[in-house]
Amino acid sequence: MIATRPLSLFLVACLSVLSVCTVAHAQAKPKSAPLEERMSHAEFLRLGLDKLTPAQLKALNTWLQTHGERGPSMDDFVPARSARASHDDTGDADIHSRIAGTFRGWDSYTVFTLANGQRWRVSEDSQMTMHSIDNPKVTLRKGFLGSWLLSVDGARESVHVTRVR
């Protein structure tokens, strides 16, 4: 009985140390702050993060918490790319087309119909007017977080748009 008591005390001590180490390890990896707290409001707006839905912003913050330290791998991108392709056939390549009809500029409610059949809506609070141009060439470039930037030949400004159809 005397010989087993030191062994029991030793096991209790080991388990205590193990539990303290586990708690210390869990506390050593603090949860990172969400993007809204990690950057200024101006940066948040400049990067277009204010256009994300609350669910999209939550998903982005979750992704940054799980992938932020090690960075992304190819495995992170391949499934997302194929899932996106099933919903959006635009891909990442620039789109070149023409506006069907006369172009005079845009405002926050403008929907552009292109010669290729696509329709794009202005997605920012923006306004630009200019002289009329018939069927001008347009280029759409993929931007940050899935945004698109529409440039019209002959116009000095570009505007962020989202695909309607």
The beta strands (E) that lie in the chain are given as 95-98, 102-106, 111-113, 119-122, 128-134, 137-142, 148-152, 158-163
pLDDT < 70 positions in the chain: 1-4, 7-8, 10-31, 68-91
First and final C-alpha spacing in the chain: 81
Q: Which residue, 148, 154, 121, 119, is CA-closest to 135?
A: 154
Show the tokens assigned to 127: 């306004």
- Amino acid 12: pLDDT: 65
Going by C-alpha positions, the residue among 129, 128, 164 that lies closest to residue 140 is 164
What was the pLDDT predicted at 26?
53
Task: Report the Cα 135 to chain-centroid distance in Å.
Answer: 32
Looking at residue 27, its pLDDT comes to 54
Task: Please give the pLDDT value at position 88.
Answer: 47
Q: Strand 148-152 vs strand 128-134: parallel, antiparallel, or unpaired?
A: unpaired
So where are the chain's domains? 35-87, 95-163
Cβ-based burial of 65 (10 A; exposed 0-12, middle 13-18, buried ≥19): middle
Handedness of CA 37, 40, 42, 44 (dihedral sign): negative
pLDDT of residue 83: 43
What's the pLDDT score for residue 152? 94
pLDDT for 146 equals 83
Q: What is the pLDDT of residue 137?
A: 96
**Which has the closest alpha carbon to 98: 140, 69, 68?**
140
pLDDT at site 82 = 44
DSSP string across 66-99: HHTTT---HHHHHHHHHHHHHH-TT-SS-EEEEB
How far, in Å, CA of 106 to CA of 138, rounded? Answer: 14
Position 147 scores a pLDDT of: 86
